Structure formats: structure tokens, C-alpha cells
Homo-oligomer: A and B are copies of this chain.
């Protein structure tokens, strides 16, 4: 992950309805593909529990890049489908990173 202080993180918390139906996985993969090619995209991480609660973090070089991605026409369609068909509840925070650090046992730095 190349994100650090001065970059932005978008926190997307969501609770999905149970079934993995209606093309959710295909849409999610397509959105990752599109985001990856979007100007200012730095990386993302996604975690979801079997009960449907999940968090996706995406990292961006600037707030302008995030707004541009938010308004991307295919992403807008995906958001609408998500609200209608897939998400029971969601929460989004856009935040500017002030500090970051990490450790990795395999690399011997923890």
C-alpha cells in the first residue's frame, strides 16, 4: 500500500442482505477494475464477515479524485443497484490521513 499522510481513505462500511445474488460479485469485481484504472486511485482492501457485515477501504491521492470516482457514470449505476438490491445499511467516511504505520512479521519488522 503506497498511501500515507496527505492521502485520503474512503471507509465504506456496509451490511448486505444474505444472498450472494443478482450479480453482486460481478459488479464488485467490475468496480474494482474501474477504480484501479481511475486517476488518483492508490489501492484498496475489503473484508466481509459471513453474516454480511463488511468494510472496504480505498485509498486516493486527493479529495478531487474521490469525487470524480464517486460521480463516474458506471459507479453511479452500481451505487443505485447497491442501495436497491444489496445493502441493508451502509456508512461512508472520507478522511485525510495524518499518520500511518505498519508491521509485518514475515519481514521481521514486528
Contacts and interface: CB of A to CB of B under 8 A. Distances in A.
Interface of A: 1, 3, 8-9, 11, 13, 45, 47-50, 53-55, 57, 63, 83, 87-106, 110
Contact of A90 (B9, B54, B98, B110): B110
A90 B103 contact: yes
A71 B11 CA distance: 25
Nearest to A51: B47
Given A11-B11, A47-B53, A55-B57, A100 B96 contact: no
A65 to B, nearest CB: 13
Nearest to A63: B98
A83 B63 contact: no
